[in-house]
Chain A
């Protein structure tokens, strides 16, 4: 017999959107259950970007891709705290230039700079947005040095980190901030709980069917009964769950992300690989951003293997001399998430436009210019058989080398599969995340963003989630 669990509000997903929603609703006195598909780990249990972390906290162990020409690898978190547990913790408020554009294009009510600033201030008071207290990592200084040499704008970005007196930083992910607040206010977090579908009666969602995994490996079917349901599984899982539950109006189309190409830069001396670069080159903002990636030994090897497969062993003898950097673009292409009957994971496709490829090639060349200006000796692009660059004149080869057949692209910022706004012809949810065709089903995660903002969207997701949670409470 299926156990039934009742609550006032069921929140599905515990990432940046779900955790903020849970904290605000629980602190307002609502009875809240958070159903999270992944496990609940000690945030210190795994080294960032390590194989252990991929195995434990990444959905599909990080092996997932949007199909298309080319296929584009992407990563999502799958644990309590969602992708905030696995990202680099870089924090960017939603660029103001998008606020007016999105409000007018999608008819989003009460969406203005002042309102979002108010909620961003509130969120930041919890997640401790700060800059490094001491000198930036040498791998980060490469970005500022190279950009300065070329006269390009660059900035050190803040992160959601808290620092002790010794300067040791602790990432303020959701499992350290919003989730504990929600729990302290009475919310129940049910980890290892996979929601299969939502249950409905007419225009009202009545709960969800789910499967609980117990520590001994056994599973148990459970039924949640809820007055209202928030779906906060991110831009891939949220539309898939809604589609499986019969909601299809503008659900799953319009996937946006930042296609990214990487370069492994070899220097003539070792770099500290413990810290990630915190600088970004913003000269080409918002259409093109240049920054630094995780550069553990495994990541360095992956970044080298495309263009130097035969020389990998020699290069890895001095892998500490190699740091991985990236160029990410705002794309004019888009994709789709489609739930497949009988299969748990949805089909994800993305159509990269020729203009995107041109922009990526431009980004790759600019990235190369910057790295050479900063003193890099050799540059290895993530292009199969891609030309290795040793001087500025070599960079011209990259324009033609970055093509659909040979480029190896990835992304992490997935958005826009259930856009918000009162123009129902363009959106899947109203201005505050209520799904069209339902009176009590809400989305409150990256799916709502009308477009990929050109920066890490965590701040925008948290800000909008706080705003929408307050709108829900005021109903």
Chain B
């Protein structure tokens, strides 16, 4: 996983990732590894570009709240692949979070 991807998972999952022993991060990581390579390549490209944006926009250090706000704005971005990037990460984290958390 790249820096931005890990930061997004941490920000969206909050303390749940620690509670599950990092299982949410692991699920997202293995999902990326299992993705078709051409799709993963596209996601990597977006992570690099959007990661650079986050670093510049929220310098010196992006907080979890900054990341969550950025994701919320990307979900309504006019560019389709950015919307899909946000949806993909939100879906993976949400599914893992709800499936892995004890009742």
Which A residues lie at the B interface, using CB under 8 A? 50-51, 55, 60-61, 63-65, 69-71, 296-302, 305-306, 309, 312, 316, 319, 340, 343-347, 384-385, 405, 408
Contact = CB atoms under 8 A, between A and B. Distances in A.
Contact of B98 (A65, A301, A309): A301
CB-CB nearest 7 A-B residue pairs = A345-B36, A298-B99, A51-B99, A301-B98, A298-B98, A61-B34, A298-B95
A319 B32 CA distance: 28
A302 B75 CA distance: 15
B73 interface: no
Contacts of B84: 71
A408 B36 contact: no
Contacts of A345: 36-39
A305 B94 contact: yes
Contact of A405 (B31, B37, B39, B83): B83
B44 interface: no
Interface string B83-103: 110011011101111111000
Contacts of B94: 298, 301-302, 305, 312
Contacts of B87: 306, 384, 408
A401 to B, nearest CB: 13
A63 B38 contact: no
A302 B93 CA distance: 10
A65 B87 CA distance: 12
B75 A384 contact: yes
B43 to A, nearest CB: 10
A302 B95 contact: yes
Contact of A63 (B35, B37, B83, B99): B35
B98 A300 contact: yes
A61 B88 CA distance: 13
B91 A302 contact: yes
9 contacts: A60-B31, A61-B30, A61-B31, A63-B31, A63-B39, A297-B99, A299-B95, A312-B94, A345-B39
Contacts of B36: 60, 64, 343-346
Nearest to A385: B76
B80 interface: yes
Interface in B21-70: 27, 30-32, 34-39
Contacts of A316: 98
Nearest to A345: B36
Interface of B: 27, 30-32, 34-39, 72, 75-76, 78, 80, 83-84, 87-88, 90-92, 94-100
Contact of A340 (B38, B88, B92, B97): B38
B27 A55 contact: yes
Nearest to B92: A63
Nearest to B96: A51
B88 A63 contact: yes
B98 A384 contact: no
A316 B97 CA distance: 12
Given A298-B98, A298-B99, A405-B83, 5 more contacts: A63-B31, A301-B95, A302-B91, A305-B91, A385-B76
B35 A64 contact: yes
B97 to A, nearest CB: 7
A316 B103 CA distance: 11
A385 B94 CA distance: 17
A385 B83 CA distance: 12
B91 to A, nearest CB: 6
A65 to B, nearest CB: 7
A228 B85 CA distance: 44
Contacts of B99: 50-51, 296-298
A417 B36 CA distance: 19
Nearest to B26: A55
B98 A347 contact: no
Given A61-B31, A298-B95, A384-B87, A69 B39 contact: no
A347 B38 CA distance: 8
A69 B79 CA distance: 11
Nearest to B103: A297
Contacts of A300: 98
Nearest to B75: A384
A49 B52 CA distance: 36
A344 B37 contact: yes
Nearest to A408: B87
Nearest to A67: B39
A233 to B, nearest CB: 15
A244 B75 CA distance: 37
A105 B99 CA distance: 46
Q: Which of A69, A301, A344, A385 has the most CB of B within 10 A?
A: A301
Q: Which of B27, B83, B91 has the most CB of A within 10 A?
A: B91
A60 B30 CA distance: 9
Contacts of A340: 38
Contacts of A63: 31-32, 34-35, 39, 88, 92
Nearest to B27: A51
